[in-house]
Each structure stands twice: as C-alpha cells, then as structure tokens.
C-alpha cells in the first residue's frame, strides 16, 4: 500500500503522523512525505531543517521525501492555479491509496492553504485508487486557533501506537532547531502527553488521532 503524508512545514508530519508512519513502514507499506514549504534555500538554517527532516524520515522508515520548496508563510501570495497545479502533479505521480493532510482549522495560513490545494488534487475523479483521506493534528497549530465549530479538531479514528511512540519521540529529537522545552507544545513531554490522552480515549497506552475526511470501504 502507498501512503502519502503532506506536511506544510518540516516536523508537522512527525507531530501528527510520526508513529503511524513508523507503524506502516514496519509492516512493509511504502510511505512518502511531501514537505510543502521552505524558506530561502540559501539560508544555512533552511538546509539544516531539511537535513533534520530527512534524518527523522530515515529513522521512521519513510520511503521517499519530496521537498516542494514553495514559499513559507507566503503561499497566500502565490496564484491559486500555480499551487493547485504543483500539488496535482505530485499527487498524480504518486497515486497514493491513503493520504494524511493537516487539519483545515489550524491557525497557520500555510496549513489551511495546503489543505485546500491538497483537496483539489485529491478529488475522486483524479485518483480512483484512493481509499482514504485523514486529517491530523499539529501541536501549537491545531489547538491554538479560535474554537469555532469549523475550526475544532474532532477525532473520529485512532491508531494504537503504543509500540511506536518511542521512535516518534526519537524522530522529533532529530528536529533540533524546532524542538522546545516543556511546557511548549512542541516539546517531547507535550507530544507524549497528547499521545497518552488520545490513547486513553480508546483504552490503549498511546495513540495518534485523526479525522476521517473521506473513506471508501
């Protein structure tokens, strides 16, 4: 099975789908990560962030990493047609069976625009093999927006990642430029706490939670 994880920024995919990616890889599925935005490619920090992402993906067993290198924080300044075409080209080339995307209610505009462009490309007419689209939560993005009915993340599917939580935390450690000290949500303690909470919801030790956007049975 071919799984695609779309991440607006480096480390979003680890926060939201890190343990699930490791679980898929462990049982032999092909997992591809698409990193959407990047800063100035001549900036040493941007190159460091890419190396951190690649290191974390290697640890999780990700099959391939794609860097789209669209402008960080400036997606809204790109013509919608150009963004949609960039997503469509990549998604058609991959032809995934399962896709994970950010939550449309995240506070960062890059997340919201990523979701909109991804959903245009993920229309059923384009991808007859596509079986499911799931939205993931991103600490410091999903929980920080205005809590209106259309912004709230309401998980309705859970993945028991008790065996994979350790490697998720190790993968996050690879993002040395992004990780923070507790009580910041992008800290190892907060990541583990969320996984514990999501796990307790379905009576397992650790879980990652998602919203079903579309699923074909």
Q: What is the DSSP string of 34-98?
A: EEEEES-TTSHHHHHHHHHHHHHHHHHT-SEEEEEEEETT-GGGS-HHHHHHHHHHHHHHH--SE
Average pLDDT, the chain: 97
- Total H helices, total E strands in the chain: 6, 7
Query: Which residues, given as ranges, of the chain have pLDDT below 50?
Result: none
Interatomic CA distance for residues 158 and 147, integer angstroms: 22
Token pair 């065996």: residue: 163
Q: What is the pLDDT of residue 217?
A: 93
CB 14 within 8 Å of CB 175: yes
In tens, the pLDDT along 86-142 reads 999 999 999 999 999 999 999 999 999 999 999 999 999 999 999 999 999 999 999
CB 54 within 8 Å of CB 13: no
Q: How far is CA 130 from CA 71, 87, 89, 199, in A?
A: 28, 15, 16, 27
Token pair 């900036």: residue: 43
Q: What is the pLDDT of residue 93?
A: 97
CB 13 within 8 Å of CB 56: no
pTM (2 d.p.)? 0.97
């Amino acid at each position: 099975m071919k799984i695609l994880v779309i991440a607006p920024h480096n480390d979003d995919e680890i926060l939201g789908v890190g343990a699930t990616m490791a679980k898929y890889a462990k049982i032999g599925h092909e997992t591809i990560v698409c990193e959407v935005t990047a800063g100035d490619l001549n900036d040493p920090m941007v190159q460091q962030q890419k190396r951190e992402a690649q290191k974390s993906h290697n640890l999780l067993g990700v099959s391939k990493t794609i860097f789209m290198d669209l402008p960080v924080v400036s997606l809204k300044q790109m013509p919608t047609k150009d963004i949609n075409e960039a997503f469509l080209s990549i998604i058609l080339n991959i032809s995934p069976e399962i896709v994970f995307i950010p939550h449309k209610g995240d506070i960062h505009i890059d997340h919201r625009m990523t979701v909109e462009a991804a959903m245009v490309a993920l229309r059923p007419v384009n991808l007859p093999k596509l079986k499911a689209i799931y939205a993931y939560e991103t600490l410091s993005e999903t929980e920080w927006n205005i809590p209106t009915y259309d912004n709230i993340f309401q998980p309705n599917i859970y993945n028991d990642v008790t065996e994979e939580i350790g490697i998720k935390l190790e993968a996050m450690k690879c993002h040395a430029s992004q990780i923070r000290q507790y009580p910041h949500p992008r800290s190892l303690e907060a990541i583990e706490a969320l996984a514990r909470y999501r796990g307790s919801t379905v009576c397992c030790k650790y879980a990652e939670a998602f919203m079903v956007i579309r699923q074909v049975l």
